[in-house]
């Protein structure tokens, strides 16, 4: 749009160059240009050392120059040599309040006696250009106001789904990008002992994040000032940063930031921390932007408080899970390895469990199970099932199917409800060095047997899961585990992937185990659990038993 005004000036006044120039703190920008040579035409801006238009802004009056080389007002200006400005006529461009923002100017490369007719024409074109500029400003303000309104409308939804500090920081950054366009969005929290702790280090270079990861709130930084004062801290220029927050000045200079705004995260007991935005240009928030930032801080406080509660629950859940998954026993011949990875759920705990019990005569009992659900309640129910099963296994020497039937009836009698899959297996040594495997499967993924040099085999045979009916029959199954062989028991999280049917996941596992050359059971277990955690959403437990060669 503004290029058209430059073209009209060039045509009407017969000059080689015409510009629509807007003057900023240290530069002038050309939203409209015609006849300007490179590199200026491509850059669309110059420093003020090359600006005649700054005089129009400073005086709010037209500037008319016949020969810039001898005019005391501009004869030292670098635009004379670099842009070829000799004759110059510039008329003010104003906003709706009459403030001069720049000029519409005509430039000649030779001395020019400007006629009154030419200056009148330029003045009329400047008035029309000012109207267009005001319309553009009004549209821009409307769009910014709409973006700010949308920011607050979206904040509740965007932050309501967050459960960790990392998610909160990302959500806030996404929210403010369109409305406020900062170069950096940071959240810091105030810990006991008045320590400020950075929660948004992922958006900073490592050495910068390390500097501000934890520091005393007495330091003079935008964040610390907001926390200590309890109010909005606006630093609209680098000079203001140096005066009010000198401890942060070197970081601002290194990152190329020139302004910032910090708002405390309000709570009944004082500020929880602060939300800080930084810009790469001098920037002063207007009153409506300040109101938006303060309101956003309230939403952030709610999200941070909720994330803190969830983190406490995750810690409690993890403690419970560790207590329930006791260390594996040692066996005189067999190597046992177990792994557990929690689900990507808010409590990070579920109903998957494993167990191993050494019995007399070299017998080993193996258990893998999965209580339906991903919650602390599921973990508690898993603990009840596990205790009952351990008691029955240790109490008498019976078949796996008998133990599972007895456990199901005991749970029914005690009122322990819920559904669970369980696989109970016994390994008994034989005189040949092999082990006899006997198992009963209550709706669980099948055990996988890997013979040395042979393919992996998923052993068939399953009954309904526990909790469906205590009257349904259960069966025992048998196989031999050869010397140097391995037996893998696992929960469905090992083969359930987001975009892969369970059958295909089991086939992939079978193929992988058949090709795997990991001599170390620990390493093999790590690879299996890492792959499952990367691809799945469910918690995963596995138990790997290897016989000596």
Instruction: State residue 270's pLDDT score.
Output: 83
Residue 148, pLDDT > 70, answer no
CATH architecture of 161-312: 2-Layer Sandwich (3.30)
CA distances 244 to 230, 237, 266, 284, Å, are: 16, 11, 22, 15
Whether the pLDDT of residue 188 is over 90: the answer is yes
Please report which confidence band the pLDDT of residue 356 belongs to, taking 50, 70 and 90 as the band edges.
Answer: very high
Q: Is 287 exposed, middle or buried (0-12, 13-18, 19+ CB in 10 A)?
A: exposed
Strand partners, 354: 368
What is the DSSP annotation of 419-449?
A: -EEEEEEEEEE-TTS-EEEEEEEESPPPPEE
Q: Is the pLDDT reported for residue 345 higher than 60?
A: no
The whole-number pLDDT of residue 318 equals 64
CATH 3.30.450.40 in the chain, residues? 2-140, 161-312
Cα torsion through 294, 300, 301, 302, rounded to 10: 120
Nearest-CA neighbor of 107 among 6, 227, 193? 6
For the record, the structure tokens of 479 come out as 């196989």
- Is CATH 3.40.1080.10 what the domain over 2-140 is classified as, yes or no? no
Q: What's the average model confidence in pLDDT over 213-241?
A: 94
**Range 315-331 average pLDDT:** 73
| Alpha helix (H) residue ranges in 189-248 | 206-212, 222-229, 238-244
In the DSSP assignment, the letter for residue 457 is E
Given a contact cutoff of 8 angstroms between Cβ atoms, the answer to whether 428 and 468 are in contact is no
Residues of the chain with CATH 3.60.40.10: 325-546
DSSP type of residue 85: -
CATH of domain 325-546: 3.60.40.10
Query: Exposed (0-12), middle (13-18) or buried (19+): which is 108, by Cβ within 10 Å?
Result: buried
Mean pLDDT across 389-393: 91
Share of residues in the chain with pLDDT > 70 (%): 90
Segment 250-292, tens digit of pLDDT? 999 999 999 999 999 998 778 899 999 999 999 999 888 888 8
Q: Are 509 and 515 in contact (CB under 8 A)?
A: no
Give pLDDT, residue 498: 65
Q: What is the pLDDT of residue 322?
A: 65
The pLDDT of residue 316: 66
* Spatial distance between the Cα atoms of 446 and 457, rounded to a whole number of angstroms: 10
Residues 493-539: tens digit of each pLDDT:
888 876 677 788 888 888 888 776 667 898 888 888 888 766 666 78
- Sequence-distant (6+) residues with CB within 8 A of 180 are 148, 277, 285, 289, 292, 293
Quick one: pLDDT at residue 343? 66
Position 164 scores a pLDDT of 86
Cα–Cα distance measured from residue 233 to residue 224, given in angstroms and rounded to the nearest whole number:
10
Average pLDDT over residues 165-174: 88
* Global pTM exceeds 0.85: no
* Of the candidate ranges 12-16, 93-97, 305-309, the one whose mean pLDDT is the lowest: 305-309
The predicted structure's pLDDT at residue 277: 94
Q: Which residues are paired to 370 by β-bridges?
A: 352, 421
CA distance 238 to 254: 12
Overall average pLDDT of the 129-150 stretch: 77
Read off the DSSP letter of residue 463: B
User: What count of other Cβ atoms lies within 10 Å of the Cβ of residue 409?
Assistant: 12
Above 90 in pLDDT, residue 142? no
Map residue 474 onto helix, strand or coil.
coil
Q: Could you tell me if residue 14 is left (phi over 0), alpha (psi between -120 and 50 degrees) or otherwise beta?
A: left
Q: Of 339, 330, 304, which Cα lies nearest the Cα of 532?
A: 339
């Amino acid at each position: 749009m503004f290029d058209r005004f430059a073209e009209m000036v060039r045509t009407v006044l017969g000059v080689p160059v015409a510009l629509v120039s807007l003057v900023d703190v240290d530069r002038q920008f050309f939203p409209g240009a015609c006849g300007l040579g490179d590199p200026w035409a491509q850059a669309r801006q110059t420093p003020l050392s090359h600006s005649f238009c700054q005089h129009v802004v400073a005086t709010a009056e037209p500037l008319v120059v016949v020969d810039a080389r001898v005019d005391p007002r501009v004869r030292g200006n670098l635009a004379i040599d670099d842009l070829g400005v000799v004759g110059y006529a510039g008329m003010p461009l104003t906003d709706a309040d009459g403030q001069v923002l720049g000029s519409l100017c005509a430039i000649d490369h030779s001395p020019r006696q400007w006629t009154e007719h030419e200056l009148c024409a330029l003045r009329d074109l400047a008035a029309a250009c000012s109207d267009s500029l005001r319309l553009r400003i009004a549209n821009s303000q409307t769009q910014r106001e709409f973006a700010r309104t949308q920011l607050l409308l979206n904040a509740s939804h965007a932050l309501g789904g967050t459960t960790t500090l990392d998610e909160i920081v990302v959500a806030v950054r996404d929210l403010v990008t369109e409305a406020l366009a900062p170069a950096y969005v940071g959240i810091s929290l105030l810990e006991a002992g008045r320590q400020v702790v950075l929660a948004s280090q992922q958006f900073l270079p490592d050495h910068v994040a390390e500097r501000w990861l934890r520091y005393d709130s007495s330091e003079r930084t935008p964040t610390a000032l907001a926390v200590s004062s309890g109010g909005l801290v606006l630093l609209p220029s680098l000079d203001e940063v140096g005066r009010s927050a000198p401890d942060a000045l070197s970081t601002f200079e290194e990152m190329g930031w020139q302004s910032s705004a910090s708002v405390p995260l309000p709570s009944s007991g004082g500020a929880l921390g602060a939300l800080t935005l930084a810009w790469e240009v001098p920037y002063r928030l207007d009153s409506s932007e300040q109101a938006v930032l303060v309101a956003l801080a309230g939403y952030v406080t709610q999200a941070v408080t909720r994330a803190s509660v969830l983190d406490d629950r995750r810690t409690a859940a993890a403690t419970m899970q560790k207590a329930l998954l006791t260390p594996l026993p040692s066996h005189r011949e067999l190597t046992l390895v177990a792994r557990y990875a929690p689900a990507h759920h808010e409590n990070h705990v579920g109903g998957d469990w494993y167990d191993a019990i050494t019995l007399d005569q070299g017998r080993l009992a193996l258990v893998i199970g999965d209580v339906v659900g991903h919650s602390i309640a599921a973990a508690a129910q898993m603990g009840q099932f596990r205790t009952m099963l351990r008691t029955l296994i240790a109490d008498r020497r019976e078949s796996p199917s008998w133990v599972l039937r007895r456990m199901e009836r005991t749970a029914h009698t005690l009122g322990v409800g819920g559904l669970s899959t369980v696989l109970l297996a016994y390994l008994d040594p034989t005189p040949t060095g092999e082990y006899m495997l006997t198992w009963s499967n209550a709706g669980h993924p099948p055990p996988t047997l890997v013979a040395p040099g042979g393919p992996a085999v998923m052993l068939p045979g399953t009954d309904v899961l526990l909790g469906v009916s205590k009257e349904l029959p259960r069966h025992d199954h048998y196989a031999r585990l050869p010397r140097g062989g391995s037996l893998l028991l696992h929960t469905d999280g090992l083969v359930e992937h987001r975009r892969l049917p369970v059958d295909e996941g089991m086939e992939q596992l079978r193929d992988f185990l058949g090709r795997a050359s990991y001599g170390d059971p620990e390493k093999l277990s790590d690879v299996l659990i890492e792959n499952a955690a990367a691809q799945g959403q469910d918690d995963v437990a596995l138990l790997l038993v290897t016989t000596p060669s």
